[in-house]
């Protein structure tokens, strides 16, 4: 049987949106109120997978190591509440300094990689993001999408309604 997943944008969905690159670990603020609705979905068998553009790496605003520390903070916050993030995919490229890539949202490369790696059924999955490019990336991978406002609490019932079609 195939897996099902909740794909999650990071900035503005799992951590506080500051409308700039989060370059320093001390500026990385986990939105702890997102964990309970996501834990309910995790308990129902959904994989939690982060799909995030991190163009600040290509712009040399922060490093892969700094990003890894931020993701570790996020993973630990979820684990403390009994949920597990399966994987955090990130695109380190930026159109001003990088060659074109397939991973940067609104393209669907990161979602397609996750779907292949974790044997996920896109039809049973949803992407939650706070930007139109998150919706576009999801749709390109055959995944339903929910657009929320930055830092808006994820609504469990809305997610279930979208998944039900």
In degrees and rounded to multiples of 5, residue 91 shows phi and psi of: -100, 115
pLDDT at residue 20 is higher than 90: no
Q: Give catalytic status of residue 119 as yes or no.
A: no
Q: Kindly report, residue by residue over 122-148, the tens digit of the pLDDT.
A: 999 999 999 999 999 999 999 999 999
Catalytic residue among 11, 43, 134, 157: 11
Look at residue 14 and tell me whether its pLDDT is greater than 90: yes
Give residue-wise pLDDT tens across range 35-76: 999 999 999 999 999 999 999 999 999 999 999 999 999 999
- Give 100-113 pLDDT, tens digit per residue: 999 999 999 999 99
pLDDT at position 19? 79
Using alpha carbons, select from 149, 52, 31 the residue that is nearest to residue 109: 52
Q: Is 162 exposed, middle or buried (0-12, 13-18, 19+ CB in 10 A)?
A: middle
Q: Flag whether the pTM goes above 0.95.
A: yes
Is 155 one of the catalytic residues?
A: no
- Token pair belonging to 146: 């929910």
DSSP per position, the chain = --BEEEEE-SBTTTB---SS---SGGG--B-GGGHHHHHHHHHTTEEEEEEEE-TTTTTTSS-HHHHHHHHHHHHHHHHHTT--EEEEEEE---TTTS---SSSTTS-HHHHHHHHHTTB-GGG-EEEESSHHHHHHHHHTT-EEEE--TTPPP-HHHHHHHHH-
Q: Which token pair is 40?
A: 């309910």
Residue 159 predicted with pLDDT over 90: yes
Token pair 């916050």 is found at 77
| 67-91: average pLDDT | 98
């Amino acid at each position: 049987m195939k897996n099902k997943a909740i794909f999650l944008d990071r900035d503005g969905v799992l951590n506080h949106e500051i409308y700039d690159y989060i370059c320093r670990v001390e500026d990385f603020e986990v939105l702890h109120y997102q964990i309970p609705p996501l834990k309910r979905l995790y308990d129902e068998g959904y994989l939690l997978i982060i799909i995030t553009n991190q163009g600040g790496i290509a712009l040399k605003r922060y490093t892969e190591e700094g990003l890894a520390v931020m993701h570790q903070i996020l993973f630990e916050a979820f684990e403390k509440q009994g949920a597990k993030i399966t994987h955090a995919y990130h695109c380190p490229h930026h159109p001003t300094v990088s060659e074109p890539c397939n991973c940067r949202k609104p393209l669907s490369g990161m979602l397609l990689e996750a779907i292949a790696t974790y044997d996920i059924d896109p039809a049973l999955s949803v992407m939650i993001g706070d930007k139109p490019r998150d919706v576009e990336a999801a749709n390109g991978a055959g995944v339903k999408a929910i657009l929320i406002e930055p830092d808006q609490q994820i609504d469990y019932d809305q997610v279930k309604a979208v998944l039900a079609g």
